[in-house]
Structure 1
Amino acid sequence: MTASPSKTSSPISGGEAMVNALTAHGIDTVFGLPGIQLDHLFNAFHDHANEIRVLNARHEQGTAYMAFGWAQSTGKVGAYAVVPGPGILNTGAALSTAYGCSAKVLALTGQILSGAMGRGYGMLHEIPDQLGILERLTKFAARADHPSEVPGVVADAFRAMHTGRPRPAALEVPMDVLEQRAMVAPVAPYEIRHPEADPELIEAAAKLLGKAKNPMILVGGGAYDAVEAVRALSAALEAPVVSYQNGRGVIDERSPYALPHPAGAEYWSTCDVVIGIGCRMQPERMMWGTDDELKVIHIDLDPTELVRIAKPEIGILADADTATRAILDALPKHNSARSSRADEFAALKARYWQRFHDICGPQMAFLEALRRALPEDGYFVDEFTQVGYVSRVGFPVYGPRMMVTPGYQGTLGYGYATALGVQAAHPDKPVLSVNGDGGFMFTSNEIATAVHHGLPLVAVVFADGAYGNVLRMQKNLHDNRVIASTFTNPDFVKLAEAYGADGRRAETPEALEVQVREAFAARRPTIIEVPVGEMPEPWDVIRPTATRGAK
């Protein structure tokens, strides 16, 4: 950052200080809902409309999910602003999702009057220890108690989100501080510093990888900014690249070297060295099994992650791109002569693709139709629904950040509003949202937001009238004790039309492909209802059993 340290020439409000600080840090869009505690922040937004736009939603959770979608699909900070108390609490699920996915989401909220805080008067939107709640959902949370403090807390929040492991941050400002006028110094510069990789560990990693007969690369969201380095390492080692939810598309999944996760589990059985780049390696080490013959190299910016599940053979504290490039530089003098394994990996992929069809044929038929309809530069946002589950392994992703998921949080109902944030961030790109009827109704009111802001998101709703997984478990695991897992749906076509969006219906994969293509061409907010029955259980496909060690 390069702002001058001199103070403003005249007093400004705390709200204007906040807007100045946000724009100085590159924020040009905020998702938000106004309210009395934020009046003077939104006044400042209004007065700086040529510098920063505000996209409102129909519910606070919508604003936060949209910020999450913005952050995940761009790698930049997604910001939202909501009132304190019930407003910020309504965004808790989105904040926890951002935390689980290491997303740079900035939550802005107000507070009651400074003099009333902590006194329990029962002021509008007052809750006990709001800042303490935010501290438990974010990497960094702070309060500004005077307009002059606003630039500093904003800079601290951005430093926290960009240094070490990225995670959300939250700031609260009391309503009287947002109104108060004072002389305010601009944002002070901040410098992003990552730890330097230990050269001895880099050399040891290169030596171990160079001697490996069956090396393997696991990538997560931390590898999104190391795409070229990961691809080069895969080529140098003739090693497959595997990811599960976050990390998809780091290597184009049309490549034979991009193995779907279950195929990776089979290869794991003979793997001798695995390098995890910007990922936890949690399902692999905790579910696929380990033994003394498997050597683990782990690159991560979070030192606690390096030893959380198990101590690796080599743990490198560094950002993914820098460390991977350093290993590439050190590798040639250690690397073995290697022949192409493209045919071998292509055959392994084909075998598992057939397995996906054999077990989850209905889901795969829809996913292949959707993949054909979504252009190469399009974004895909999943949901916790039968087709969405199988998309984790059965929907090829062509580039980094082009598939957005809630990661291990499993946030049912996050998808539609999140996809609106992705569309806002990429207004000229096609964005596809895949939903079940249960999850879609969590944020279906945001169809109004899509229409209001002209966001041409195409959303597919697979409608079976039930929370499908819960219903299946109640039937199969709990002696048919079916309770609270079925529901009554609206006509989704009419629902879309009532909001002013396009409503469509498709009953087959072939019809769905046509409808999605037409919807993208129309460039209008669109809901496509797909009536479906009960689908095959997906877990045998997406959760392979242990392939080594104690099975």
Structure 2
Amino acid sequence: MSGKYEPMELTGGQALVAQLLEEGVTDIFGIPGIQLDWAVDAIRSQPDRIRYIMPRHEQATSYMADGYARTTGREGVFMVVPGPGVLNALSGLATAYACSSRVLCISGQIPSTLIGQKHGMLHEIPDQSGILKSLTKWHGIAHRPEDVPALVHEAFVQLRSGHPRPVAIELPPDVLQAKGVTTILQRAEFNRLEPQPNTIEEAAAILAQAKFPVIQVGGGAAASGAGKAIQALAERLQAPVVMTDGARGLLDDNHPLALTSLGGRAVFPHADVIVAVGTRFIDGIAKPTHASGDTRYIYVNVDAGASGAPRAPGCLVLSDATAAAEALLAALPSETRASSTDKIGKVKAWSASQTDAIQPQTDYVRAIRSSMADDDILVSELTQVGYFSNIAFPVHAANSYVTPGYQGTLGYGFNTALGAAHGNPDRRVVSLNGDGGFGWGMQELATLARDGCNMSVVVFVDGHYGNVRRIQQRTFGDTFAVELANPDFAHLASAFGLPFEKVDSPSGLHAALTRAKDSKGPALIAVSVSEMPSPWALIHPFVPSPVTPPANPLG
């Protein structure tokens, strides 16, 4: 590390902000508190360079940072007080960890000389550092103001190299207030992991002999921005690309080789080679996404553990997804293969026929999609239309479709969408919610109204935790503790000065979304619905469902 500036005397708070600015940070999501006063004051002194966005609850800060990171390609930064502030933000941090999201948590602490003494200081909790370490790839704590620039810089080194996952820094209040001679360090550059030539040669030799290769891409490929490289590799191989929920949009769904996970169920059994890029390649019950016993496997990942048991043995290319795809493309023979368009077209048609039969979810998905531009952003949720969107919502641009990943965080969606909206003011954001999950963050309508976000908030209202009700009914024949007492959503919107519409049909939703988008401001739309049919046989075959799993269109 080399210094960009001459050493200067700064408070720890000033050093924090100076290094954040050097790293390119322009937005921080946070709620102030006494332990952070000297950091917040330093932010206040730079109003033209850094924006402090304050929601109403610490949980929102981490979700907003995650939504910001996953839709802008820039790091998301949030700041909370120690103890309850950190604990409130953990669900968003866990979601960011699950989704390979580049998020920096800046946490306050109790005075540095009292950490671990158990004197009952304000906001003190046992082993806050250990809690943060469990949900981040790297963690640091400052003991002197001179430590702050190097810690911030190392946080961004970690965020911009290896497996993209959250990192955390703890800053005691005495360190933020004290002055020290500090040196601001040059911005951390992205440092992607390049593949070893021998593994590329091995993988290319396997692919050169493949008759029907299939590529599966996951959140790691999306975090790498590997779309162009994967598309070029797929076209060279004439290989279908199966996108997991975390990789939707890596290829435009209109591309003839692009498939969702539903389409993957049709092609995997016929693949003689499967290339798993930036994906764990296991399903929700830790069962490998294997094909036939004769299938060969190539695992491309920055984490060697993504190729181990219970997966079948294969060729491991330890590498960034983009770097590996580019290297494989260069190593493969250049001749054009016979087109797979007709074969994959059958799978696309089969997938559409399966999803079209699920109503009214299909019509709602179409209503939403037809109201949006290709690069507008949809933040899904754990709600009936949200679940279905994972396989049925057409995605046409990278970083435009957001889910909670394997964390399955009910109530994450509205707050995450707010972060996406703050980071992408020129793109319309649509937040899908059920009335159950929306209740966990509805206070953030205050943030939506205050900041005038370019965002439509859709709440499907059926008065229940719908999926819990379905599971209980199927398992026990009865339901318990699933009924909701909802607010009058019209009055709720009015209380915050927000435009509001109530609809009860897909056509009504399309019209309301179109009007909201034309207004270029925030809107709340409540959609009255009844119990919907189960789509789970199409989404996850391991989930029990009364729906019969579909037959394979390729035989």
2:329 alignment counterpart: 328
11-20 vs 300-309, which moves further: 300-309
Residues 101-180 of structure 1: matches in 2 within 5 Å?
101-180=99-178
2:460 aligned counterpart, secondary structure: strand
CA contact (8 A) 1:262 1:544 kept: no
Q: Distance in 2 between matches of 1:325 and 1:309?
A: 28
Q: Distance in 1 between matches of 2:54 and 2:305?
A: 38
2:319 alignment counterpart: 318
Letter in 2 for 1:229: A
Shift, 1:291, TM fit: 4.2
CA contact (8 A) 1:458 1:527 kept: yes
Q: Distance in 2 between matches of 1:381 and 1:236?
A: 32
Residues 24-43 of structure 1: matches in 2 within 5 Å?
24-43=22-41
Letter in 2 for 1:250: L
1:516 alignment counterpart: 513
Superposition CA RMSD, Å = 1.8
Q: Distance in 2 between matches of 1:483 and 1:125?
A: 36
CA contact (8 A) 1:16 1:41 kept: yes
CA contact (8 A) 2:278 2:301 kept: yes
Shift, 1:244, TM fit: 2.1
Shift, 1:288, TM fit: 4.7
1:535 alignment counterpart: 532
1:344 alignment counterpart: 343
Q: Distance in 1 between matches of 2:134 and 2:5?
A: 33
1:500 alignment counterpart: 497
CA contact (8 A) 1:288 1:544 kept: no
- In the alignment, does 2:278 pair up with 1:278? yes
Shift, 1:465, TM fit: 0.7
CA contact (8 A) 1:265 1:288 kept: no
1:354 alignment counterpart: 353
Q: Distance in 2 between matches of 1:204 and 1:118?
A: 52
Shift, 1:256, TM fit: 2.4
Q: Distance in 1 between matches of 2:187 and 2:47?
A: 24
Residues 391-410 of structure 1: matches in 2 within 5 Å?
391-410=389-408
2:484 alignment counterpart: 487
Residues 372-391 of structure 1: matches in 2 within 5 Å?
372-391=370-389
1:459 aligned counterpart, secondary structure: strand
Equivalent residue in structure 1 for 2:439, among 438, 441, 447 = 441
1:377-429 per-residue CA deviation (whole Å, 9 max, x = no partner) reads 20110000000000000001101111011100000000001001001110011
1:399 aligned counterpart, secondary structure: coil
CA 1:427–1:340 in 2, change beyond 3 Å: closer, same or farther? Answer: same
- In the alignment, does 2:240 pair up with 1:240? yes
1:480-526 per-residue CA deviation (whole Å, 9 max, x = no partner) reads 1x221111111222211211111111111011101001101111211
1:113-137 per-residue CA deviation (whole Å, 9 max, x = no partner) reads 1222211111111111111110011
Residues 182-261 of structure 1: matches in 2 within 5 Å?
182-188=180-186, 190=188, 192-224=190-222, 225-261=225-261
Shift, 1:439, TM fit: 0.5
CA 1:487–1:271 in 2, change beyond 3 Å: closer, same or farther? Answer: same
Equivalent pairs, count: 542
CA contact (8 A) 1:21 1:154 kept: yes
2:545 alignment counterpart: none
Q: Distance in 1 between matches of 2:370 and 2:529?
A: 20
Q: Distance in 2 between matches of 1:234 and 1:441?
A: 43
Equivalent residue in structure 2 for 1:459, among 452, 457, 460 = 457
2:275 aligned counterpart, secondary structure: strand
1:166 aligned counterpart, secondary structure: coil
Identity within the alignment, %: 40
Shift, 1:538, TM fit: 1.7
Q: Distance in 2 between matches of 1:2 and 1:390?
A: 50
Letter in 2 for 1:234: A
1:171 aligned counterpart, secondary structure: strand
1:401 aligned counterpart, secondary structure: coil
CA contact (8 A) 2:268 2:291 kept: no
Shift, 1:310, TM fit: 2.3
Shift, 1:52, TM fit: 0.7
Shift, 1:170, TM fit: 0.7
CA 1:250–1:198 in 2, change beyond 3 Å: closer, same or farther? Answer: same
2:546 alignment counterpart: none
Q: Distance in 2 between matches of 1:518 and 1:386?
A: 24
Q: Distance in 2 between matches of 1:193 and 1:288?
A: 30
CA contact (8 A) 2:460 2:527 kept: yes
CA 1:138–1:308 in 2, change beyond 3 Å: closer, same or farther? Answer: farther
412-421 vs 67-76, which moves further: 67-76
1:90 aligned counterpart, secondary structure: helix
Q: Distance in 1 between matches of 2:13 and 2:353?
A: 57
Letter in 1 for 2:327: A
1:332-376 per-residue CA deviation (whole Å, 9 max, x = no partner) reads 16x6x6222212212221122111122x21111100110101111
Q: Distance in 2 between matches of 1:189 and 1:391?
A: 39
CA contact (8 A) 1:2 1:189 kept: no
CA contact (8 A) 2:498 2:524 kept: yes
CA 1:2–1:456 in 2, change beyond 3 Å: closer, same or farther? Answer: farther
CA contact (8 A) 2:161 2:193 kept: no
Letter in 1 for 2:277: I
TM-score (ref. length: structure 2):
0.94
1:283 aligned counterpart, secondary structure: coil
Q: Distance in 2 between matches of 1:152 and 1:33?
A: 24
Shift, 1:3, TM fit: 5.0
Q: Distance in 1 between matches of 2:22 and 2:492?
A: 41
Shift, 1:282, TM fit: 1.4
Q: Distance in 1 between matches of 2:309 and 2:30?
A: 36
Letter in 2 for 1:355: Q
Q: Distance in 1 between matches of 2:409 and 2:424?
A: 23
Shift, 1:227, TM fit: 1.2
CA contact (8 A) 2:270 2:292 kept: no
2:182 aligned counterpart, secondary structure: coil
Q: Distance in 1 between matches of 2:181 and 2:394?
A: 54
48-57 vs 299-308, which moves further: 299-308
Q: Distance in 2 between matches of 1:2 and 1:439?
A: 47
1:177-229 per-residue CA deviation (whole Å, 9 max, x = no partner) reads 11111211112564543443121221221121121111101111222311111
TM-score (ref. length: structure 1):
0.95
CA contact (8 A) 1:220 1:243 kept: yes
Shift, 1:242, TM fit: 0.7
2:78 alignment counterpart: 80
